Amino acid sequence: MTTTSNVLSDMAALRSELRQQGDPHCELFRVAPWRAVLDIAFDWLIVLSLVALVVWWSELFAPLAVVLIANRQRALGNILHDAGHRNLWRDRRRNDLVARLFIAPLLFASLTRYREKHFKHHMELGTDGGDPDLLFFARSRPTTWFSNYLDQVFSLNAWLSSMGGHLLSRQVRTASQLYIVGWWLGAVALMWVVAGPDFTVTFLVLWLLARATAFHLITTFREMCDHFGLQPGGVFTFTRDMACHGVWRWFIHPRNNGYHLTHHLLPAVPYYRLPEAHRLLKGQDVFRDRGKVCCAYFTGADPVTGAWQTQGRVP
């Protein structure tokens, strides 16, 4: 099983090689706060525009709106992830203020709890009972990747997490949950006054429906892309990069979230610099020799779903 020492050893091996070249990765740690602010505003604008399309144009756009809103929920979740690492601003107060005002409560999340849980995921990667994001094969007999995907999709705990976030978690302080509820009450009241009851009710219905359906499907697939089917024992053995392009990447991994191995090795790199970081790491011997990179989701020589099939035993 992975231990903290395995994780730190893998990170140290990469950084030792980078230091021999003059630390070329350090430039990648620079943050551009305006970029995150614009991306947050863009996601909000897309969501509100989709609600307006349904309310003021036609209810027939509702299915499309649910799917696209779920995609933007995933994108905002990825920015929340960067906020957890303080990659929006290096100044903690500004970083956390933006996250707590415009992202975390919108996603039913407590930034404090998210940060604590995510830190454990990084440091106790792959450990049973330590890694809060660890996924297991649910079946011991040989089966298809899709069956294993459905096992994760139909997990009640996973669905409740997608649907209710930290509102339904017993590990989150009551004060944090009350803040989320209060934020939503204020946001709904403001929307009711500015846009009217029809817009507000439609927003709530579409937002919750997206969380309960398409968002859960996307999030489950994304989480399986990160580590599922790999062997615990360190960052390199248990994490993969999804270096894919095209529509599927935009749909499943908005905001460059597919570069998960790169992120675990260099967690202080903001999301908009991950492609550049991935290109840099591909030139390092340790990454070429030990890194796992998939270039396809479903087809090709080595699609990520190929690693999701059980071979007659539970790892």
Instruction: Say which residues have a Cβ less than 8 Å from residue 290's Cβ, sequence separation at least 6.
Output: 10, 236, 237
The dihedrals phi and psi of 13, each to the nearest 5 degrees, come to: -65, -40
Per-residue model confidence as pLDDT tens digits over 141-176: 768 899 999 999 999 999 999 999 999 888 899 999
State yes or no: pLDDT of 312 exceeds 90.
no
Q: Which of 272, 279, 311, 276 is nearest to 293 (CA)?
A: 279
Residue type, 75: A
pLDDT at position 139, please?
Answer: 72
Q: How far is residue 254's CA from residue 252's CA, in Å, rounded to a whole number? A: 6
Q: What is the band of 303 on the pLDDT scale with cuts at 50, 70, 90?
A: very high
CA 36 vs. chain centroid, Å, equals 15
Instruction: Please tell me the predicted confidence (pLDDT) of residue 1.
Output: 47
Q: Is the pLDDT confidence value at 254 over 50? A: yes
Average pLDDT taken over every residue of the chain: 92
Q: For residues 106-126, give the mean pLDDT.
A: 94
Q: With 60 as the cut, is the pLDDT of residue 276 above it?
A: yes
Give the mean model confidence (pLDDT) for residues 20-48: 95
Q: Which residues contact 132 (CB under 8 A, 6 or more apart)?
A: 117, 120, 121
pLDDT band at 187 (very low <50, low <70, confident <90, very high): very high
Kindly report, residue by residue over 238-247, the tens digit of the pLDDT.
Answer: 999 999 888 9
Q: Which two tokens stand for residue 181?
A: 């509820």
Q: How far apart are CA 15 and CA 29, in angstroms?
A: 13
Residue 211 pLDDT > 90, yes or no?
Answer: yes
User: Who contacts 94 (Cβ-Cβ below 8 Å, separation ≥6)?
Assistant: 33, 88
d(CA 248, CA 268): 26
Determine the average pLDDT of the residues in 273-297: 95
> What 3 state SS string does the chain have?
CCCHHHHHHHHHHHHHHHHCCCCHHHHHHCCCHHHHHHHHHHHHHHHHHHHHHHHHCCHHHHHHHHHHHHHHHHHHHHHHHHHHCCCCCCCHHHHHHHHHHHCCHHHCCCHHHHHHHHHHHHHCCCCCCCCCCCCCCCCCCCCCHHHHHHHHHCCHHHHHHHHHHHHHCCCCCHHHHHHHHHHHHHHHHHHHHHHCHHHHHHHHHHHHHHHHCHHHHHHHHHHHHHHCCCCCCCHHHHCEEECCCCHHHHHHCHHHCCEHHHHHHCCCCCHHHHHHHHHHHHCCHHHHHHCEEECCCCCCCCCHHHHHCCCCCCC
For residue 243, give both structure tokens: 């270096």
Mean pLDDT, to the nearest integer, of 70-79? 97
pLDDT interval class at 2 (50, 70, 90) = low
